[in-house]
Amino acid sequence: MASFLRIASSAARPILRTSTQVPRVVVPTVASKASAIRFYSDSHEESFEEFTARYEKEFENVNDVFELQRNLNNAFAYDLVPSPSVIVAALKAARRVNDFPTAVRIFEGIKAKVENKQQYHQYLDELKDLREELGVSLVEDLYPENK
């Protein structure tokens, strides 16, 4: 029976390199070093106030559902809970593009991001008037059997 594996003859021999085959390392000079090196970690740390102002502006400029959901994903991706003013801007944007499900999911996102139920209820109390004005229900109100 023939063997399915064939050993190449060059695999048995070790590879020897001469000094001309060794790759050279080129060190840039001081003049070219400034343009060749990129400092990715040398970015500005954004404060919470700057974050809030940026996302309020982003939600004011939303024109369609895709932009709304993209901005919400970006806002909730940070390791913080967006301020109530950002949530207000997001809810108004959801109303402007006529997207009720996303408005309901904003509150689900808040519930997932806060540390405890007390913080969630503080958000609900602060946003109660706007929720009633826009007609946004909570998942707890829509499906009381899933509490």
Model pLDDT for residues 117-129, shown as the tens digit of each residue: 999 999 999 999 9
122 in a structural domain: yes
Q: Please check whether residue 42 lies inside any domain of the structure.
A: no
6 lies in some domain: no
> Is residue 83 situated within a structural domain?
yes
Residue 108 lies in a domain: yes
For residue 56, is it within any domain? no
11 pLDDT higher than 70: no
Q: pTM for this one?
A: 0.69
Token pair 């390791």 in the structure block, residue: 79
Domain membership of residue 101 as a residue range: 67-138
The candidate with the shortest Cα–Cα distance to 83, out of 134, 137, 123, 133, is 123
pLDDT for 17 beyond 90: no
pLDDT at 30 over 90: no
Look at phi and psi of residue 93 and say left if phi exceeds 0, alpha if psi is from -120 to 50, else beta.
alpha
Is the residue at 127 inside a domain? yes
CATH of the domain at 111: 1.25.40.40
List all residues 6 or more positions away from 36 whose beta carbon is below 8 Å from its beta carbon.
28
Task: Report the amino acid identity of residue 115.
Answer: E
pLDDT tens readout for residues 31-67: 544 555 655 666 678 899 999 999 999 999 999 999 9
Contact by Cβ (8 Å): 116, 100: no
d(CA 47, CA 117): 26
Query: Does residue 144 register a pLDDT over 70?
Result: yes
Structural domain count of the chain: 1
Instruction: Say if 35 falls within a structural domain.
Output: no
Burial of 85: CB neighbours in 10 Å, binned 0-12, 13-18, 19+: middle
pLDDT of residue 4: 54
